[in-house]
Amino acid sequence: MRAIVVAVLLLAHTVAAASAPAQRSSRLFEQWQKADASGDGELSRREAARIPRLAAHFDTIDRDGNARLSAEEVRAWRKAVAASRRTPAGRRFDRYFSLADLDGDGALSRTEVEAGLSRMAGKFERIDSDRNGRLTREEIENWFALRRSARGR
């Protein structure tokens, strides 16, 4: 009986974990549909402002520099972010971020950065792209990506 309960719990966890990316994708698709006021299948900067995560990374996502986000550009950006989390450096970043996120809300306050990532504290304002006083994983990853591209890497 105990083995059956464990197996069911493991299966439930696996199904939940597998469906999470699909749920995030469908949520983004729904947000995209609502934000695309012109109905042209692309988002202008103004339209993307309705989706904070895309707005915060607009310039990084807009690879062709036409001031519009295509679905292909967003998919490529999301794929790159996911891939960066699978590298040893990405896993290390996730570990440091989780340790610094004392309240577990998925974002770092200035106090959490000063306590857990002190070398980053002086750069807080530059990294906080949406100016809300909290750093998300995406904002920090985007900042690192901008630094790498400025160095030509």
- For 68, the 3-state DSSP assignment is strand
Pairing of strands 107-109, 134-136: antiparallel
The pTM for the full model equals 0.48
Which CATH number, 1.10.3470, 1.10.8, 1.20.120, 1.10.238, labels domain 1-86?
1.10.238
Residue 136 DSSP label: E
Look up residue 31 and give its amino acid.
Answer: Q
pLDDT band at 48 (very low <50, low <70, confident <90, very high): very high
pLDDT band at 15 (very low <50, low <70, confident <90, very high): very low
Q: How far is CA 150 from CA 113, 129, 153, in A?
A: 24, 17, 8
Q: Which helix (H) or strand (E) holds 153?
A: none
Q: How confident is the model at residue 153 (pLDDT cuts 50, 70, 90)?
A: low
Which pLDDT value is given to residue 47? Answer: 95
The domain ranges of the chain are 1-86, 87-153
More confident site: 108 or 52 = 108
> Where does 87-153 sit in CATH, by number?
1.10.238.10
1-86 matches 87-153 in fold? yes
Kindly state the average pLDDT of the residues 76-86: 79
